[in-house]
A and B are shown apart, each in its own frame.
Chain A
Amino acid sequence: GAVVSQHPSWVICKSGTSVKIECRSLDFQATTMFWYRQFPKQSLMLMATSNEGSKATYEQGVEKDKFLINHASLTLSTLTVTSAHPEDSSFYICSAVEPAGALETQYFGPGTRLLVL
């Protein structure tokens, strides 16, 4: 299957700082990537849809000014958590869509665990 990477895998930061997470599709081009957040013992919650060359589409309740998304190329999307606070501590996972004719499949990155102190 297709490979999606994320960097960093772990980040610990102080409250008020900004953190950037990278998501890369390694062996395919992805016009669409998704960003999810998962709190302990909960399922994945979609935060936003990242589209190459255009603005991201955010899900209801997700602050676009706090979670900045940039999809600058067909293989890279970044999520920046601005002015992070302890309640932003979570497991952030990206996925990339691999086009396969009429059928598309999402492949997930390994995730980034964020701890805000």
Chain B
Amino acid sequence: QKEVEQNSGPLSVPEGAIASLNCTYSDRVSQSFFWYRQYSGKSPELIMSIYSNGDKEDGRFTAQLNKASQYVSLLIRDSQPSDSATYLCAVTRNTGFQKLVFGTGTRLLVSP
């Protein structure tokens, strides 16, 4: 079982729709959870961080965390073609420095 699992996609949504990206993790004591966006050929860019159960909203983005189910999601409202990218879910391990463990990413395609 992979430590962080994501559906590779692509997830295709029309412009203006809500895109829902999901991630599960195996280490029950994971503490911090991050969503990064990576455009093709570029490095990851931090979108959201979430540390406690519930929802966290930032503009068009909402991160949801459920530690009991070991599940974290990212909702993108009013999706735009510029949101088309690969979204990486990352969690920190329970020991050492903030070593991120990444999922393989979900490719999102927003069509005009």
Seen from chain A, the residues whose Cβ lies within 8 Å of a Cβ on chain B are 1, 32, 34, 42-44, 46, 49, 51, 91, 93, 95, 97, 103-111
The minimal Cβ–Cβ distance linking B6 to chain A, given in whole angstroms, is 9
B99 contacts A46, C-beta separation under 8 Å: yes
User: How far, in Å, is A107 (CB) from chain B's closest CB?
Assistant: 7
Q: 12 A-B residue contacts at CB 8 Å?
A: A34-B99, A43-B102, A43-B104, A44-B102, A46-B101, A49-B97, A105-B46, A106-B46, A108-B36, A108-B43, A110-B42, A111-B43
* Chain B nearest Cβ from A104, distance in angstroms: 5
Q: How many Å lie between the Cα of A97 and that of B49 in the bound state?
A: 14
Interface size class of B (residues with CB under 8 A): 20 to 34
**Are B49 and A32 in touch, CB under 8 angstroms?**
no
Q: A49-B97, A104-B98 are in contact. Are A42 and B43 (CB under 8 A)?
A: no
A32 and B96 CA atoms in complex are apart in Å by 11
Bound Cα distance A32, B34 (Å):
18
Q: Which residue of A lies closest to B89 (CB)?
A: A43
Which of B46, B97, B101 makes the CB contact (< 8 A) with A32?
B97
A-B contact count (CB 8 A): 49
| Cβ contact of A103, chosen from B32, B45, B96, cutoff 8 A | B32
0/1 string, B85-112, CB within 8 A of A gives 1: 0001000000011111111110000000
Give the distance to chain B from A61, nearest Cβ to Cβ, in Å. Answer: 15
Would you give the shortest CB distance from B35 to chain A, in whole angstroms? 12
Instruction: Write the chain B residue with the least CB distance to A42.
Output: B104
Asked if B88 and A49 make an inter-chain contact with CB atoms under 8 angstroms apart, the answer reads: no
Most chain-B CB neighbours within 10 Å: which of A43, A91, A97, A110? A43
Report yes or no: B98 in contact with A97, Cβ–Cβ below 8 A. yes
Q: Does B44 contact A (CB under 8 A)?
A: yes
